[in-house]
């Protein structure tokens, strides 16, 4: 399946459709019971993605550094900072808001392990909803682990990543699901389990259920780090109109439209939608409303997200191979970053040092772009 192509000349108003992310039907998170609190992990950390710290990482923080109440909970998660020698702007990349959308998790991982920044900073959160790593999606059964072999022949090692869920583990949430989820201004209610959907929980709250606190911490990160650009990396079922989509907060539309034309010229046609004011709780909408950041969401097609599909092979699907989806995610993010750098003042630019050509991940395989 190929994405729709944008006409060569297109006006911004024509691009500005309404965009909920990942098949949203309506907004957002629940009223949090005042007594709700996330559970503490009794000991250790559940086994999770094997993400390694690359040579470009200059500091590793935890999300709880931005919201101390998360420390010791299943919602805490690493934050990798890659700083350039030249001062500049800050770009935040978030993967794993939905832990069954593999390409976004791997795209963030590839940046952590291989990117080097020359100007400004890259801040990467590869497993944003860390609790969702531990939950299986019973409607869309998939292997528990995704295994990536080393590129040597024969493979000499392998890397393991969990195949998680769209939702926070109910055992970690600290509150039962409400009967329904609704925020002021929402056009209609969502099912109660969506209280555990991180991408319906922004801008979050400092107290209450785990999912809301994780959302709060991510917005705190954007605010304190004075983020210029932010990306939330997702996937959608291949038949969804959201597949091959860049969603932009309205303030980022001019930049996004310019980047879309660049991507099209480079052979990666992505569609563009604007986030709607009426859909609350979604990252691209709330990040841009709560902070000065220009916020975006990227969607590639994921054959594992088809309801009722069983045992779809997650890595080497013939039509939607994982490596090609990862390449598309990275090319989209880095094209927006480069387009921004072309016109932003030096103190706000983010520039990567020469490194791997991520467009080749689909051809060479993911193993070539991980640390071994
Ligand atoms: Zn998603």
Q: Per residue in 326-363, pLDDT tens? A: 999 999 999 999 999 999 999 999 999 999 999 999 99
* Alpha-carbon span 113 to 306, nearest angstrom: 30
Interval between CA 345 and ligand 1 midpoint (Å): 33
* Alpha-carbon span 51 to 124, nearest angstrom: 12
Interval between CA 22 and ligand 1 midpoint (Å): 5
Question: According to the model, what pLDDT value does residue 15 have?
Answer: 36
Interval between CA 105 and ligand 1 midpoint (Å): 11
Average of per-residue pLDDT across 136-161: 88
**Mean per-residue pLDDT of the chain:** 88
CB atoms within 10 A of CB 363: 11
Which 3 state secondary structure label does DSSP give 177?
Answer: coil
Question: According to the model, what pLDDT value does residue 41 have?
Answer: 52
Average of per-residue pLDDT across 40-51: 67
Percent of the chain with pLDDT over 90: 78
Interval between CA 120 and ligand 1 midpoint (Å): 28
Q: Which residue matches tokens 């907060």? A: 249
Instruction: Assign 313 a pLDDT band (cuts: 50, 70, 90).
Output: confident
The percent of the chain in helix, strand and coil, each rounded to the nearest 5, is 30, 20, 50
Interval between CA 10 and ligand 1 midpoint (Å): 27
Helix/strand number for the chain, H first, E second: 8, 13
**Least-confidence region, from 94-98, 153-157, 224-228, 337-341:** 153-157
Instruction: Assign 43 a pLDDT band (cuts: 50, 70, 90).
Output: low
| DSSP 8-class letter at 367 | G
Average of per-residue pLDDT across 54-59: 98
**Least-confidence region, from 129-138, 240-249, 293-302:** 129-138
Question: According to the model, what pLDDT value does residue 278 have?
Answer: 80
Q: Which residue matches tokens 């069983």? A: 310
Question: According to the model, what pLDDT value does residue 40 have?
Answer: 62
Q: Which residue matches tokens 């409607």? A: 139
Instruction: Assign 132 a pLDDT band (cuts: 50, 70, 90).
Output: very high
Higher pLDDT, 183 or 350: 350
Interval between CA 199 and ligand 1 midpoint (Å): 7
| DSSP 8-class letter at 18 | B
Instruction: Assign 5 a pLDDT band (cuts: 50, 70, 90).
Output: very low
| DSSP 8-class letter at 273 | E
Q: Looking at domain 50-369, what is its CATH homologous superfamily?
A: Zn peptidases (3.40.630.10)
**Burial class (CB within 10 angstroms; exposed 0-12, middle 13-18, buried 19+) of 184:** exposed
Provide the β-strand partners of residue 61: 79
Interval between CA 104 and ligand 1 midpoint (Å): 9
Interval between CA 47 and ligand 1 midpoint (Å): 22
The CA-CA-CA angle for residues 218, 250, 271, to 5°, reads 95
Interval between CA 156 and ligand 1 midpoint (Å): 33
């Amino acid at each position: 399946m190929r994405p729709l192509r944008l006409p060569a000349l297109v006006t911004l108003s024509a691009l500005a459709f309404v965009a909920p992310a990942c098949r949203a039907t309506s907004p957002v998170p629940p009223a949090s019971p005042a007594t709700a609190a996330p559970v503490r992990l009794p000991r250790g950390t559940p086994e999770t993605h094997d993400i390694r710290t690359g040579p470009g990482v200059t500091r590793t923080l935890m999300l709880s550094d931005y919201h101390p109440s998360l420390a010791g909970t299943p919602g805490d998660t690493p934050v990798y900072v890659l700083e350039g020698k030249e001062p500049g702007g800050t770009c935040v990349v978030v993967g794993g808001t939905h832990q069954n959308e593999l390409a976004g998790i791997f795209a963030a991982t590839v940046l952590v392990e291989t990117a080097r920044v020359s100007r400004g900073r890259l801040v990467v959160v590869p497993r944003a909803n860390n609790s969702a790593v531990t939950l299986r999606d019973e409607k869309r059964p998939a292997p528990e682990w995704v295994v990536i072999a080393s590129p040597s022949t024969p493979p000499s090692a392998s890397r393991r990543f969990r195949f998680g869920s769209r939702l926070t583990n109910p055992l970690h949430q600290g509150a039962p699901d409400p009967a329904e989820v609704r925020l002021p201004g929402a056009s209609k209610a969502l099912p109660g389990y969506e209280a555990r959907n991180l991408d319906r929980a922004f801008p979050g709250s400092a107290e209450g259920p785990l999912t809301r606190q994780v959302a709060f911490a991510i917005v705190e990160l954007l605010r304190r780090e004075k983020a210029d650009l932010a990306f939330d990396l997702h996937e959608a079922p291949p038949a969804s109109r959201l597949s091959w989509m860049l969603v932009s907060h309205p303030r980022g539309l001019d930049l996004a439209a310019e980047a879309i034309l660049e991507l099209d010229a480079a052979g990666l046609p992505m569609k563009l939608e604007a986030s709607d004011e009426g859909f609350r709780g979604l990252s691209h909408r709330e990040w841009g409303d709560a902070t000065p950041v220009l916020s975006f969401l990227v969607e590639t097609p994921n054959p594992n997200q088809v309801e009722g599909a069983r045992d779809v092979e997650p890595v080497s699907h013939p039509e939607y191979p994982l490596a090609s989806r990862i390449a598309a995610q990275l090319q989209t993010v880095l094209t927006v970053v480069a387009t921004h750098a072309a016109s932003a003042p030096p103190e706000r630019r983010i520039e990567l040092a020469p490194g791997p050509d991520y467009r080749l991940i689909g051809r060479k395989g993911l193993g070539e772009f991980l640390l071994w």
